[in-house]
Amino acid sequence: MAKYIYRVGARVKGVSAQVAGDTLTKIKKKNKGTLTPEKVVEESRNKDAPLHDCFIWNNTEAANLYREERARHLIRSVQVVIEDYDEGESVPVRAFVHVEGDDSPRYVSTKDALSDPELRQEVLERAMNDLRSWRERYKELNELADIFMAMDTVAV
């Protein structure tokens, strides 16, 4: 039997990682080796299903959360084109970045975040965490060894 844990930073409520992993494996086996979000939701509808409490079943609440997620996706998707970036080259960059700051989590323009020393440090720390997470996700791929070595030379 496989041992399951949640990745660092995962925000999953309602079920242990072991129960989640075992249940997802059963759903995959039941569906001929395929695991899809649709099948997970379908198998979790019954109140007695192991993963039932991982989902919001109130349609009004779920719809609003979905809209907020779509808004986050929209904000993350918009880029701004920096003209004459390098020798007349135009480069697209994210228009907005997520910051915690002193207030509640929010998005600010990338330009504003990078010109504020505290926000710039926060963005840099998030980038380094993302880099470490990416490395962890793909650590078993030997083909990326050169990239990992390069990352080690710049990691702080």
Domain boundaries, the chain: 17-55, 62-154
The pair of structure tokens assigned to 139 is 């650590």
- Residue 133 contacts by C-beta under 8 Å, 6 or more apart in sequence? 7, 8, 9
Is the pTM for the entire model greater than 0.75? no
- Residue 27 contacts by C-beta under 8 Å, 6 or more apart in sequence? 35, 39, 40, 43
pLDDT by residue (tens digit) across 86-114?
777 888 899 999 998 666 889 999 999 99
**Cα–Cα distance for residue pair 111/96, rounded to 1 Å:** 8
Neighbours of 40 (CB within 10 A): 19
pLDDT by residue (tens digit) across 9-21?
788 988 999 999 9
